Amino acid sequence: MTTTNAAPVKCARMACTCMAPPGKKYCSTHCEDTKSLTALACHCGHYGCDEKAVAA
C-alpha cells in the first residue's frame, strides 16, 4: 500500500481562498467549472470563502 503526502495547495481559481484536496487543482466542481470566468468573489459554498475573498 502506498500513500502520497501531497502538500495542500490553494484552489487554482483566483477569486477562491480555499485549499484544494490533495491531488486536485480546485476545491470544488464550482471552481473548476467557472475557472475561465473573472470574479471578485468566490461562491464555491465553503464556509468563509466569500468573506475572505472580498476586500474590506
**2-50, pLDDT tens digit by residue?**
555 667 799 999 999 999 999 999 999 999 999 998 888 888 988 878 6
Which domain covers residue 26, as residue numbers?
Answer: 10-56
- Give dist(CA 20, CA 5) in Å, integer: 14
Q: How many domains does the chain have?
A: 1
CA triple 19-24-29, angle to 5 deg: 80
- The reply to whether 49 falls in a domain is yes
Confidence of residue 53 (pLDDT cuts 50, 70, 90): very low
- The reply to whether 45 falls in a domain is yes
> In this model, does residue 56 exceed pLDDT 50?
no
- The reply to whether 53 falls in a domain is yes
- The reply to whether 5 falls in a domain is no
β-pairing, 9-10 with 19-20?
A: antiparallel
